[in-house]
A = this chain, B = another copy of it.
Amino acid sequence: MADFSDTIAVCPGTYDPVTEGHLDIIRRATCLFSRVVVGVAAVSPRKDTLFSAPERVTFLRGSLGETIEVDVFDTLLVDFARKWDARALVKGLRAISDFEYEFQMAQLNRKLASDIETVYLMASPEYSFLSSSGVKEIARFGGNVNDLVPPEVARRLAELFQ
């Protein structure tokens, strides 16, 4: 077998904004792989982002500490993974949320780069209902999102929608 002492994993996403559910997946990934890089998609394939890419990166860095890299990408995800020598992509599955989209992207990514594997972790039950868009919808109407996102994100959302 090859030397696996340095399997690198990428946790990709739009993180618009990062939620406690995202952080849970990223932290669990660090228990499995020797190094984890959070990849922030500069643009969302399906809709405009509320926060700029640098803002989304700042939220992640503020929540994750210095041992986890955070990097923006505006390329194919597999090209981003190769840039970091990553052999694994790590995604969370919330029940079957996004399952269809993830399933298709996993197979497409293997077609594009058969040496990179996508691995899935089941969302923790307490975050299984949590999404960035749900958070934004609540914040838009002045609801309390303190348990759902890091404090800095909650503060910015309150500023934006007050």
Contact = CB atoms under 8 A, between A and B. Distances in A.
A106 B134 contact: no
Interface centre among A95, A124, A148 (most CB of B within 10 A): A95
B129 A104 contact: yes
B131 A104 contact: yes
B117 A120 contact: no
Contacts of A120: 93, 119-122
Number of copies: 6
A136 to B, nearest CB: 9
Interface string A52-92: 00000000000000010000001110110000000110000
B76 A138 contact: yes
A129 B143 contact: no
Interface stretch (A10-18, A30-38, A150-158): A30-38
A128 B95 CA distance: 10
A127 to B, nearest CB: 8
Interface size class of A (residues with CB under 8 A): 35 or more
Contacts of A137: 45
A142 to B, nearest CB: 7
A157 to B, nearest CB: 14
Contacts of A148: 111
Contact of A88 (B32, B94, B97): B32
Given A125-B128, A128-B125, A134-B104, A112 B32 contact: no
B28 A117 contact: yes
Nearest to A125: B125
B121 A107 contact: no
A118 interface: yes
